[in-house]
């Protein structure tokens, strides 16, 4: 990164040094139409009080012929103002991805550019190993320090059931010990399933370095019950010292999750603590997201958390998201994002707003567009294709399917963390999920597909 200081009177000169897009510029086609070796470039713009929109971020993504991300480059400008003096800092980062012949990710590397020395600095990497049937067996997370990659390293080791059902029965976390120059055990997780291959329990053990062994009793234990089919009904968590917590799940008649209710057992009575509400519209789409806390003094739910409202088009694609805060006993607008889609329902542009309480209206603060696309050897997209992108992802997944069907996103322990319906295309919010390896399962009357997903 590199710091610059400038007078605000020179702001327009600085702004003019960046390429700019007018609000009416046409948008080019999506990079996710199964192009071969395509490069997509996204440009982000901040809007100042004078209505100027200088470029403040630029994201370039390179895809291989299978639509896997192989390279991503981001440069952006962070601005601040102190006593009339504007300071902006330029950041440059780049990421590399490699895959095996089965399109499983093998490595992910992150670097940043040091503007003072004009050198790219390695920061951390992830490496993945698989068995002969494609199950991930090891994931190693390493930080770069002192010219080596094993500083503050972590390793996850996975063991699967012997029946070939792709079910993880054990996961061990090891930490790199600098003094021993090797990995040492830290935590272990074990999983049990019923005859229908549905998760029944998972246990967490902490390594006892004094005895060099795993304890006989788990530190925490989670048990699961199910309602219709494999629909999760409850999860009970046994903490040390006898503390108990449970989460109860509610669904629509079609099986879409609408509520997660958390309770603690106090004086042998289950007592509410918090809940997450995700009501659905007539098409089973999430209409809002809201978390509430239980007020023990009022014996009622306290609506002091934030709320997100979602709007979709006729093709079930998200086109608007509004965030609100609970203030003075009412919901008040806070932020807003709108999405412009192409003919294939892919996001071409997003515009961000904040609520101006003085003018009582939305004020645009930034926008991002797909500003260029360089491609070679375009391939025709199959109408019967099943695609998931981007993969890896840290915010959302886009799922395209040949027809109407349903999907489930499962953790490595077999727990369903996301599920719903898709009619040719939908987006799945994954920004609140833990980083790691997941399975995305899709089925309709004609096909059944399972895809490995990496959340980071």
Cβ proximity of 293 and 304 under 8 Å: yes
Name the pLDDT band for 74 (thresholds 50, 70, 90). Answer: confident
DSSP single-letter state for residue 146: T
What is the pLDDT, as a whole number, of residue 244? 93
- Judged on CB neighbours under 10 Å (0-12, 13-18, 19+), 164 is exposed
pLDDT in tens, 167-212: 788 999 999 998 888 999 999 999 898 887 788 898 999 999 999 9
Going 8 to 14 to 16 to 21, the CA torsion angle's sign is negative
DSSP 57-82: EEEEEEE-TTS-EEEEEEEEEEEEEE
pLDDT in tens, 27-69: 222 222 333 344 556 677 666 666 665 556 777 888 888 777 7
Tokens found for residue 407: 């999907």
- As beta bridge partners, residue 78 has 89
Cβ proximity of 292 and 301 under 8 Å: yes
Name the pLDDT band for 409 (thresholds 50, 70, 90). Answer: confident
SS3 16: helix
320 CB neighbour count, 10 Å cutoff = 14
Name the pLDDT band for 444 (thresholds 50, 70, 90). Answer: low
Q: Between 106 and 230, whose confidence is greater?
A: 106
Residue 225 has pLDDT above 70, yes or no: yes
| The architecture CATH gives domain 382-456 | Sandwich (2.60)
Helices and strands of the chain, counted as H and E runs: 1, 29
What is the pLDDT, as a whole number, of residue 53? 58
Tokens found for residue 312: 């979709």
Least Cα distance to 292 among 282, 305, 308 occurs for 305
Tokens found for residue 313: 């088009």
What is the pLDDT, as a whole number, of residue 6? 29
The Cα-based distances of 240 to 83, 119, 247 in angstroms read: 52, 49, 18
Mean pLDDT over each residue of the chain, to the nearest integer = 76
Domain ranges of the chain: 382-456
Residue 248 has pLDDT above 90, yes or no: yes
Contacts 24+ apart (CB under 8 A), 220-223: none
Cβ proximity of 410 and 431 under 8 Å: no
pLDDT in tens, 249-277: 898 888 888 898 999 999 999 999 999 89
Q: What gap in Å lies between CA 373 and CA 60, rounded to an integer?
A: 9
Rounded average pLDDT over 97-112:
88
Name the pLDDT band for 150 (thresholds 50, 70, 90). Answer: low
| Greatest CA separation for the chain | 72
What is the pLDDT, as a whole number, of residue 52? 61
Least confident of 33-47, 64-78, 278-292, 373-387: 373-387
Highest mean pLDDT pick, 111-120, 264-273, 378-387, 445-454: 264-273
Rounded average pLDDT over 329-354:
86
274-322-282 Cα angle (round to 5): 75
């Amino acid at each position: 990164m590199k710091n610059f200081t400038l007078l605000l009177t020179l702001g327009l000169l600085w702004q003019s040094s960046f390429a700019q897009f007018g609000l009416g510029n046409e948008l080019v086609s999506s990079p996710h139409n199964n192009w071969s070796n395509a490069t997509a470039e996204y440009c982000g713009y901040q809007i100042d009080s004078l209505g100027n929109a200088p470029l403040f971020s630029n994201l370039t993504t390179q895809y291989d012929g299978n639509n896997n991300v192989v390279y991503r480059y981001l440069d952006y400008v962070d601005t601040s103002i102190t006593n009339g003096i504007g300071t902006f800092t330029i950041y440059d980062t780049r990421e590399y991805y490699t895959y095996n012949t089965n399109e499983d990710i093998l490595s992910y590397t992150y670097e940043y550019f040091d503007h003072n020395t004009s050198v790219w600095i390695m920061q951390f990497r992830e490496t993945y190993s698989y068995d002969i049937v494609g199950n991930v067996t090891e994931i190693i997370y390493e930080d770069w320090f002192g010219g080596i990659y094993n500083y503050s390293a972590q390793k996850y080791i996975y063991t699967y059931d012997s029946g070939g059902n792709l079910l993880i029965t054990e996961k061990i976390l090891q930490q790199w010990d600098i003094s021993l120059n090797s990995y040492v055990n830290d935590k272990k997780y074990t999983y049990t399933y019923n005859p229908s291959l549905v998760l029944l329990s998972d246990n967490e053990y902490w390594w006892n370095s004094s005895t060099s062994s795993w304890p006989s009793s788990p530190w925490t234990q989670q048990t699961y019950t199910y309602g219709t089919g494999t629909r999760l009904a409850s999860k009970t968590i046994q903490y040390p010292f006898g503390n108990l917590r449970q989460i109860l799940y509610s669904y629509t008649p079609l099986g879409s999750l609408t509520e997660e209710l958390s309770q603690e057992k106090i004086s042998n009575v289950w007592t509410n603590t918090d809940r997450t509400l995700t009501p659905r519209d007539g098409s089973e789409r999430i209409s809002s997201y809201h978390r509430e806390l239980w007020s023990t003094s009022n014996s009622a739910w306290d609506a002091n958390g934030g709320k997100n409202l979602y709007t979709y088009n006729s093709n079930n694609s998200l086109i608007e998201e509004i965030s609100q805060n609970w203030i003075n006993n009412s919901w008040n607008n806070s932020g807003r994002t709108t999405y412009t889609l192409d003919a294939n329902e892919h996001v071409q542009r997003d515009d961000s707003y904040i609520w101006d309480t003085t003018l009582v209206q939305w004020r645009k603060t930034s926008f991002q567009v797909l500003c260029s696309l360089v491609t070679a050897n375009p391939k025709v997209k199959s109408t019967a294709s099943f695609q998931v992108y981007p993969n890896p992802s840290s915010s959302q997944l886009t799922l395209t399917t040949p027809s109407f069907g349903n999907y489930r996103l499962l953790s490595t322990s077999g727990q369903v963390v996301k599920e719903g319906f898709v009619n040719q295309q939908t987006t799945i919010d994954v920004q609140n999920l833990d980083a790691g390896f997941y399975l995305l399962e899709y089925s309709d009357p004609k096909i059944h597909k399972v895809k490995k997903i990496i959340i980071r």
